[in-house]
Amino acid sequence: MSDTVSGTQPGQRQLNGPQTTGREYRNLSEPSFGSTVDENVAVPMRDGVALRADVHRPRAAGRFPVLVAASPYPRQIQDLGAPAGFIEAGATDFWVPRGYVHVIANVRGTGGSGGTFGFFDGQERHDMHDLVEWAAAQPWCDGNVGMIGISYFAMTQLEAAVERPPHLKAIFPVAVTADLYEAAVHNGLFNSSFVTPFLAMLGLTAEPSDRAWRSPLTGMARHILTSPRVHHKFATMNGEAAVTMMHTLLKLPHDPHPWDDLWFDAAIRHPTRDEWWDERNLLPLLPNIDIPVYLGCDWQNVPLHLPSTFTAWQALSNSPVVRMGMLGEYGLTWPWESLHIEALAWYDHWLKGRDTGVLDGPAIRYVLPGAEEWHTADVWPPAAASHQMFALSADGGLDSGEGAAGSREFLVLGAGLGRAKASPIDPPSTLTWTSAPLDAPLDVVGTIELQLVASATAADTAWIVLLRDVAPDGSAEDITAGWLRASLRQVDEQTSTPGAPVLLCRDPVAVPIGEDVTYRIPLVPNARRFDVGHRIQLLLASDDQDPSTPAIMNFRHASVGTSSVNTVHSSSRLLLPVIA
């Protein structure tokens, strides 16, 4: 039992991160309850397998709305307070005192739940339906169920919603991935620095017993990590820290099944979109969702969850209400505690029938990095944005005019050449194009495309693109990125729009050696104010395994493995969505 209350008011355990999208709300639930917990509750699935859940509920008689949080991460330590990427179920000591039951469950094959983990497969969708309906039938539930949590917890929200369980009334899937291929394989380039340690981490965290997770040592760690002085430091930990931690865990042994089997499927057996990936793509199923959905992400989450925020927005065509909140730097840190006031306004409205004001105003609210202020829009991309073309000039400039026609070349070396060091006569391994210093602020918000005209001396290569903001002192900040395996360049012309090509990534076609090819490379949509005196820079590489090559959030890709001299022509264009 616990009487701790978190929030933003004096005397409460203070939550890290932004708590709203810049708004004031009304009629919000106040903390009125102590908390009790039922541990290791068996939740039966339709096939007889039982998931395990901890049920945190108000210490009072009566029935309450329920927020379900489900993932492969250890449910027993979701209140640990650690700055780790698997502490993402939300703050139990925020929800329960305000009259919500917080059900934290482990998906199949993790944390003591029966069956075998399927990594976002069809079975997991059925389980999420059954978990929601089980919660609705319990004596402590008033029949109103929502879901909570970011990242994988957000993914299971969409999994449940596409199955349309009758008692699921609304969801809040912030930092979601709706299409696993979109996050694991970036247009043909395997996201190795994330997927490999992620599956290893799942294997490691699946092994300790329930007793180990609830040990006195864990309790001591919780006491330290949630102390105000220590906890406050976690407000500015970023995604690079999580990737570094997971790479450290790679050195520890774990049971290879099913984790290594799943890695082999994702990395080796299924390099292009096929039936295996199609089973793990919810985008075609999102029109099934007929309940309110609140989407959101931080602009920095480029190589993982940010892309799905926008593809999901477009696909949720039958949801009666869809809202989106986009956050700036450190908007989503660990343990996840941000946007809790926003989520409370959402669920007080949909699960308790309170008029909180959460539906007031435009559907989209976003921080504009560089200006650090809130903006609004009714549609995505914002209607005020129009694409401006910037030429990749032969002299390395990035401007509205191409100047003298020409080209530039760079070198990518495949593995196994046995060369000790680069030669001074070699072309560089990356190219950059940089604009002149801006004489007025430039607001870029929306979809971004690189129309690359290039040739290669290999039958396949990679295109890795970074958009950067270069400050007057010469320091560069990564804004967003795009990726493409050249042999998977085919564009779906039916669904593509100007500035937003959709790549099929199914049937590889060899690159004609030495011939110019026009590639339409999507960069992950983003927002940025490039301020006066700053310069816009585009960086292009064909391999990011070398630590000296910039990589956004330090997410790196398995090499295509070919050696090539790649030539880029000045007829290439960068399309930026500029708001006047």
User: For position 549, which CATH number holds?
Assistant: 2.60.120.260
In a domain, 204, yes or no: yes
In a domain, 289, yes or no: yes
Q: What ranges make up the beta strands (E) of 72-179?
A: 101-106, 141-147
- Write down which residue in 377, 393, 424 finishes a domain: 377
In a domain, 526, yes or no: yes
Task: Write down the pLDDT at residue 415.
Answer: 75
Task: Write down the pLDDT at residue 241.
Answer: 56
Domain match, 430 and 396 both: yes
Domain match, 372 and 395 both: no
Domain match, 366 and 231 both: yes
Backbone torsion region of residue 233, taken as left when φ is above 0, otherwise alpha when ψ lies between -120 and 50, otherwise beta: alpha
In a domain, 115, yes or no: yes
Q: How far apart are CA 342 and CA 306, in angstroms?
A: 19
- Write down which residue in 327, 349, 377 finishes a domain: 377
In a domain, 538, yes or no: yes
Domain match, 367 and 396 both: no
Domain match, 139 and 113 both: yes
- For residue 560, the SS3 value is coil
Domain total in the chain: 2
Structure tokens belonging to residue 555: 């997410």
Domain match, 346 and 391 both: no
In a domain, 430, yes or no: yes
pLDDT by 10s per residue, the chain, length 580: 578 999 999 999 999 999 999 999 999 999 999 999 999 999 999 999 999 999 999 999 999 999 999 999 999 999 999 999 999 999 999 999 999 999 999 999 999 999 999 999 999 999 999 999 999 999 999 999 999 999 999 999 999 999 999 999 999 999 999 999 999 999 999 999 999 999 999 999 988 889 999 999 999 999 999 999 999 999 997 655 555 655 565 566 778 899 999 999 999 999 999 999 999 999 999 999 999 999 999 999 999 999 999 999 999 999 999 999 999 999 999 999 999 999 999 999 999 999 999 999 999 999 999 999 999 999 999 999 999 999 999 999 999 999 999 999 999 998 766 555 657 768 999 999 999 999 999 999 999 999 999 999 999 999 999 999 999 999 999 999 999 999 999 999 999 999 999 999 999 999 999 999 999 999 999 999 999 999 999 999 999 999 999 999 999 999 999 999 999 999 999 999 999 8
Structure tokens belonging to residue 248: 């450290």
Task: Write down the pLDDT at residue 256.
Answer: 86
Domain match, 452 and 558 both: yes
Domain match, 343 and 395 both: no
In a domain, 76, yes or no: yes
Contact 310, 577 (CB under 8 A): no
Contact 565, 411 (CB under 8 A): yes
Q: How far apart are CA 292 and CA 296, in angstroms?
A: 14
Domain match, 279 and 331 both: yes
Domain match, 402 and 346 both: no
Query: What values do phi and psi take at 437, rounded to 5?
Result: -55, 135
- Write down which residue in 340, 357, 377 finishes a domain: 377
CATH of the domain at 169: 3.40.50.1820
Domain match, 405 and 365 both: no
Strand 430-434, strand 50-58: pairing = unpaired
In a domain, 2, yes or no: no
The residue among 387, 377, 418 whose CA lies nearest residue 522 is 387
- For residue 253, the SS3 value is coil
Q: Which domain holds residue 426?
A: 385-579
- For residue 31, the SS3 value is coil
Domain match, 397 and 520 both: yes
CA atoms within 13 A on the CB side of 477: 16
